[in-house]
Structure 1
């Protein structure tokens, strides 16, 4: 598949914001003492990330003025459900921020954290199911897609939350959620590695033989049947070589998981601020590369007809 950069930024930014809000909600519900200034600052950052992700998601639409029509298919479409859940989640985060900013008390003190917690989980599930429900793309049609979207979002959100807490001096927050950030990063690494191993071993149901009806054992395509590009060749091909794909895979494993895990371990051992900031800076490009590879690795069945240019 051809990765749309607007979707890469949307899923990465929104996932980190969900993880950040999820962490803050857990801290609030379990009575972790957090300075009001830190909580409002972190919620503000999450809101900015969510709005930026929403804005990025509009960039790949052909007719942006008709975006509202996406909600009409909510009974059958996971994308429609995501379009409904995302603005609702943004509104809940904004409402929680406002309640803290203006000192609104009970029942908001416990109700809003519960609602944003459920909203983050619902949004992860809806976003992941957009891809996991596509049975004809076998790389995505698996529960690991949901697991990976959730764990990667948790990892990035926890790392960001701990980095912000370390900067403003919320030592207790870092002590509680720092090990969680390391555990989530290691778990995301393990789950993503499992997905990579599974996808590498897939024996696709559709082959050149089944697509063309030619039953010969040795069948090779020499031409896509046209001399110029088309929608099929632009939207379902990433254009990267096998060597580039291999390098990108190694790169995102290193930058999204390995280096952040080492930096988090350093931060926990030293109680310094620098490792947490470095972990955020290192992980961000790694997550974008991971999401690019997620789309690029997927093989749409139509590619059986459009593999090479003669």
Structure 2
């Protein structure tokens, strides 16, 4: 498939926002139970603000994927049957609840009410993860996507990047939590690497279910394709094939494995001694965590690009091959 960068940024930005909000609410639940020291309100306010900004940027990016942005409101019309329509409803709901959650901490609302808002935002984030991933996992004719690993990867990669950003927020506003958040980010990053490697191994073993024989109904073994059907570029040749060389695709694959998983994990792990020893915000630690998040996000952009390119649309058996 041809990657659409509007969708690449939509899914990666919103995934990080969802993971960040989930981390904030988990911390608040632990603080309420006395398991961890209660962080300053600035930790929640800054985190919620970052989640809203990231989600809003993802929503803005999605408009560039529309042929007629002025008709965007119609995207919700098929919510009974379309995962895309459900995503269009879940994302604004998540943003609204994340905004109210941050406002609750900023304005000093009762802790119980703010926690309820946070739990509702977590529910909205979970629904959004399901809707976004099912847009692709429900397409049975694209074997690379039609797997439970698609949803697992969307959830783990979003939570990993969000938790890395939450670690940065802790270093700035709640130094006592930085070590714990860094451990969570390492665990989620490692889990994301395992699940993504599992999907790569699975997809490498797939074989096309369609052939020239099954497409034409001609059972001869000597069928030879001499034309792709078009003498010039057309929708079928533009939208269902990425047009990149196998070498480029392989380079991107190894690049995202390093950028999204290996390098951030090493940086997060290397921050642990300083994180646990820090008595207050430290500029060196903050810079290290900021670099870890930026590298991880760049790796996730490459991962999502690869996610689209590795999906082999059956129509390419005809339109992308010529003798």
What TM-score does the superposition give when structure 2 sets the normalisation length?
0.92
SS in 2 for 1:139: coil
Q: Which residue of 2 aligns with 1:117?
A: 122
- Quote the Cα distance in structure 2 between the aligned partners of 1:190 and 1:72: 37
Residue of 259, 277, 295 corresponding to 1:282: 295
Task: Name the structure 1 match of 2:52.
Answer: 47
Does the alignment pair 1:192 with 2:196? yes
The whole-number CA distance in structure 2 between the counterparts of 1:205 and 1:159 is 40
Unpaired runs of 5+ residues, structure 1, are none
Within the alignment, does 1:19 sit opposite 2:32 as a pair?
Answer: no
Aligned with 2:274 (options 265, 270, 273) = 270
Q: 2:221 aligns with which of 210, 217, 223?
A: 217
Aligned pairs, number: 309
What whole-Å deviation, never above 9, does each CA across 1:202-235 have from its counterpart, x for those lacking one? 1221122211223233545332122111111111
Q: Residue 296 and residue 40 in structure 1: after superposition, are their counterparts in 2 closer, same or farther (change >3 A)?
A: same
Deviations 1:262-301 (A, max 9, x none): 1111011333334312211211211100000000100111
Aligned-residue offset at 1:44: 0.6
Greater CA drift, 72-81 or 208-217: 208-217
Deviates more, 1:168-177 or 1:196-205: 168-177
Rounded to whole Å, the distance in 1 between the matches of 2:39 and 2:14 is 23
Which of 208, 228, 231 is matched with 1:204 structurally?
208
d(CA) in 1 for partners of 2:95, 2:187: 27
Query: Is residue 261 of structure 2 the alignment partner of residue 261 of structure 1?
Result: no
Question: What is residue 246 of structure 1 aligned with on the other side?
Answer: 250
Q: Identify the residue that residue 9 of structure 2 maps to in structure 1.
A: 9
Give the conservation status (yes or no) of the 8 Å contact 1:227–1:309: no
Structure 2 counterpart SS, 1:137: coil
1:116 and 1:10 map into 2 onto residues whose CA distance is 18
- 2:236 is aligned with 1:232: yes
| Cα-Cα RMSD | 1.4
SS of the counterpart of 2:124?
helix
More divergent stretch after superposition (71-80 vs 31-40) = 31-40
Unaligned runs of 5+ residues in structure 2 are: 276-284
TM-aligned CA deviation for residue 172 of structure 1: 2.1
Q: Tell me the secondary structure at the aligned position of residue 227 of structure 2.
A: coil
Aligned to 1:176: 180
Range moving further from structure 2, 193-202 or 91-100: 91-100
Contact 1:221 1:307 in 2 (8 A): no
Calculate the TM-score normalised by the size of structure 1. Answer: 0.96
Matched, 1:101 2:106: yes
Cα deviations across residues 73-109 of structure 1 (Å, max 9, x unaligned)?
A: 1111111111111111111011111222221215413
